[in-house]
Amino acid sequence: MSLPGGVERRQFDGGDEALSTRGEPAYGEPVVDGWRRWDARRSKLGATLELGLHTGLSAGDAVLYLGAANGTTVSHVADFAGPTYAVEFAPRPVRDLVEVAEARDNLVPLLKDARQPETYAHVVESGLDAIVQDVATRGQADVALANRKFLADDGRLVAAIKARSEDVTEAPEDVFERVLDQLREGYEVLATERMEPFHEDHLAVVATPK
């Protein structure tokens, strides 16, 4: 398993091992010696790492996180990354996200729509090392393509594609193929993996901009 610097497997109560990052607790997760449990069943990126995909993420990376919700996963990202821009469009979870950011100077919460990157382009730096995407909306490939301009030439897109957000009637396999075809308009897809048993009808994708 290829883990970013700052992400380790640690033993928690009950003797089970789990991914963890070192930082302030954010959502009631178990903590042992300062290491916070990162539950893959609550985090698409955590599941991606558990599945063994080489994400290319590294300690100190500048990251744009799309679909930050209330900060569960992005809090772990900010524990090991550098500047971390967290985009979420729903006001209620952003209130939680702001609280998570109070303990992390490198985490910048943005109440914005990931489908409209022009609204936060004045805040988010260009030449980022990574985009982490977890947006539950139709047009997930469009979101990734619209935000591609923020990535460095050798940057990475690490995305979780949710089939049911695209079309609840279409077979997930067909949805994934269609979304990947769209992504290839601006990205080279490096790796994909279905996210079961952690998340049903999701596909983990790692790509780099063309």
Q: Which residues are annotated as a binding site for S-adenosyl-L-methionine?
A: 72-73, 88-89, 113-114, 134-137
Q: How far is CA 34 from the centre of its chain?
A: 22
Which residues are annotated binding-site positions?
A: 72-73, 88-89, 113-114, 134-137
DSSP for residue 119: G
Alpha carbon distance 66, 106 (integer Å): 16
| C-alpha closest to that of 37 among 58, 23, 51 | 23
Q: How far is CA 197 from the centre of its chain?
A: 18
Report DSSP letters for 141-179, one per residue. Answer: HHHHHHHGGGEEEEEEEEEEEEHHHH-SSS-HHHHHHHH
Does residue 66 contact residue 147 with C-beta atoms inside 8 Å? yes
DSSP for residue 72: H
53: left (phi over 0), alpha (psi -120 to 50) or beta: beta
Alpha carbon distance 46, 32 (integer Å): 18
